[in-house]
Chains A and B, each alone.
Chain A
Amino acid sequence: MSGRYEKTFGRLKGREGRPRGAFIPFVTLGDPNHEESGAILETLVEAGADALELGIPFSDPVADGPVIQTASNRALDAGATPASCMALVKRTRAAHPDIPIGLLVYANLVVSRGLDAFYGMAAEAGVDSVLVADVPVMSSRPFVDAALRAGVAPVFIVPPNADEQKLRQVAALSKGYTYYLGRNGVTGAEREMDEFGADAASRIALLKEAGSPPVVVGFGISKPEHVRAAIRAGADGAIAGSATVKIIAEHLGDPRSCREALRRFVTEMSKAS
């Protein structure tokens, strides 16, 4: 595997005087269209994103709330395909050789192309990790095998209802990072993450004790205080998806102010990490 996550989290942790966590924005590839999406990725990196989490649009995103559903539709309507999305990744990778890039996809996009072909294409584009939103640990074997064969890190989700056994399974299977859900349900900024108290902290500690890669919190992360709460609970970073995508949705037709608003958001969220 690429080792980019390890290096990035290590660098952030090892910063002299002030260790920090990672802020990872999520956007849907090809949203609102191919060219603008490429420019948005550039903006996110320039503004200080520590890693990128990128969705390939799917027609039936059952794990996503309205904001990301709409983004997927915008991208698909603009002609996005898995291949065109990989081309965007490739371009970003060429410009930024060290930033970790994770993909978030739905199982049928992987299965339709063939598991080895899909992960091979991802690796070739410079992707570091792949999270398949609708493949839980217990159905994951063929996906994990194919990912590892291609040198791509398989990422798994820890939901709030995970028992100790699930925590340990995810800790063992997840590579690159582990995606810790800030709350139940689907993606969306309308409902904020749960209060991150002692309970979350002890679960994150258990994950790490069980050998998990860095733990990143996502779902319901839209404000700097959410990022701070995640880091305080022992997480290594936070992902903001719907909150980032919402900025794109609010600036359709005005790419310049869209990128400006994204820049401000990423800067502010990064500061909190």
Chain B
Amino acid sequence: MLVNLGAFGEYGGMFVPEILAPTLLDLERAFEDARNDASFTAELDGLLHDYAGRETPLYRCLNIGKASGVAIYLKREDLLHGGAHKTNQALGQALLAKRMGKTRLIAETGAGQHGVAVAMAGALLKLKTRVYMGSKDIARQAPNVFRMRLMGAEVTPVDTGSCSLKDAINEALRDWAESADTTHYLLGTAAGPHPFPTIVREFQRVIGREAKRQILEAEGRLPDTVFACVGGGSNAIGIFADFIDEPVRLVGVEPAGHGLHTEKHGATLEKGRPGILHGSYSYVLQDDNGQIKESHSLSAGLDYPGVGAQHSHLRDTGRASYVGITDDEAVEAFCLLSREEGIIPALESAHALAQAMKEIKEAAKGSIFLINLSGRGDKDLDQVMSYLKNRKGLRPNGGQL
């Protein structure tokens, strides 16, 4: 067994430079202490309610699924303050950082949604904030960069490696190795060293807890299948957590980019093999020698060659299935939800919807699908516009786009 700390089956662990080990152990203790402290949970719940707008609605699509007799429910994390589920755990960890006496936050961001959530939390709780962001992502997510700066965060471009999420995490870890006395690294996904996969899951668990209650109220029964996109896997683990012990199918949707038969994808659980990246043992996209490969996805938030350790465990045990959706399919779903329901989803979330639309054809009448609509798509408009311009074969919305 490689992993002795924070294990999910054979995955997880704490593989970091020695200098960060005491910091992570302090964090583990502080988190355990906080979650058992009623005043901490009350403060967090208060912020989630009053500031962030929880609970978020569970919305049954009026039009999609109607013809096939399948009920499609969307958990509307896109309506959360900040525009994505990331706010849930940014607030949680920022409160934890304050409780630990830290005065500064650092974070990585891919699509910019996590960076925005950390910038918000930093502004709200008066913590100095720096966000590391790959220069490639800065180029494709300009509005989010402006949002972060507007809220007082410093956005630091990362020009190493693939200039994307993976490299932003490297840079944040390097900062932390020097600054941990004053600084909390507010990691944004369910990957990373122990205790992050557990902290992130627990702060995101609210998604599934609410959705479960809401669907029982609406339908009197649990859904047949839960769909969520998986980059690092935070929104997926958040909506899965309360369903893992229930007879419900769990489907994680990875970015298949140009296709799983190509090298241009980010389907870590389908095409990777176990290894150590960013502090934990989990599936990783890597070459035969163990060098980490660059991932690809049109969706910056899913463009990551690693994945949260618990997803690796759910995959190996067969408790959840993981499938790929291509850039093309995601863009079609992006357009479909906009056209049919008047909801513009994040490109990330569009992956989950696209998989549900594929499965709808074989689903029995009366089936219930629950999809985590993890974020809204305003940030992706430029990206989708230029994608459609360059992909003449794609003609969504009657070709008028």
* Shortest beta-carbon distance from B220 to chain A in Å: 47
Q: Is A63 an interface residue (CB 8 A)?
A: yes
Beta-carbon contact of B290 and A109 below 8 Å: yes
Beta-carbon contact of B18 and A108 below 8 Å: no
Q: Is B277 an interface residue (CB 8 A)?
A: yes
Q: Is B15 an interface residue (CB 8 A)?
A: yes
Residues of A within 8 A of B17 (CB): 62-63, 133-134, 136, 157, 159, 186
| B4, B276, B278 pick with most chain A CB within 10 angstroms | B276
Please give the number of chain B residues whose Cβ is less than 8 angstroms from any Cβ of chain A in the complex. Answer: 39
Given contacts A63-B17, A134-B279, contact A185 B290 (CB under 8 A): no
Selected contact of B178 from candidates A141, A166, A186, CB within 8 Å: A186
A113–B286 Cα distance when bound, in Å, is 12
**A132's closest neighbor in chain B, by CB?**
B15
Q: Is B225 an interface residue (CB 8 A)?
A: no
**Which residues in chain A, 51-103, are within 8 Å of chain B measured between CB atoms?**
58-65, 69, 76, 81-83
A58–B289 Cα distance when bound, in Å, is 10
Q: Is B292 an interface residue (CB 8 A)?
A: yes
* Shortest beta-carbon distance from A58 to chain B in Å: 7
Beta-carbon contact of B16 and A65 below 8 Å: no
Beta-carbon contact of B290 and A108 below 8 Å: yes
Beta-carbon contact of B177 and A186 below 8 Å: yes
Beta-carbon contact of B15 and A107 below 8 Å: yes
**Which residues in chain B, 230-286, are within 8 Å of chain A measured between CB atoms?**
274-279, 281, 284, 286
Beta-carbon contact of B22 and A161 below 8 Å: yes
* Shortest beta-carbon distance from A209 to chain B in Å: 20
A184–B241 Cα distance when bound, in Å, is 37
Beta-carbon contact of B4 and A141 below 8 Å: yes
Residues of B within 8 A of A135 (CB): 15
Q: Which of A's residues lie within 8 Å of B, judged by CB?
A: 58-65, 69, 76, 81-83, 106-113, 133-139, 141-142, 156-163, 166, 181, 184-186
7 further A-B pairs in the complex, CB-CB below 8 A; given A64-B174, A134-B276: A58-B291, A59-B292, A60-B161, A82-B289, A82-B290, A134-B279, A185-B19
**9 closest Cβ contacts across the A-B interface?**
A112-B290, A185-B178, A159-B19, A136-B21, A107-B276, A157-B18, A59-B291, A108-B276, A136-B18
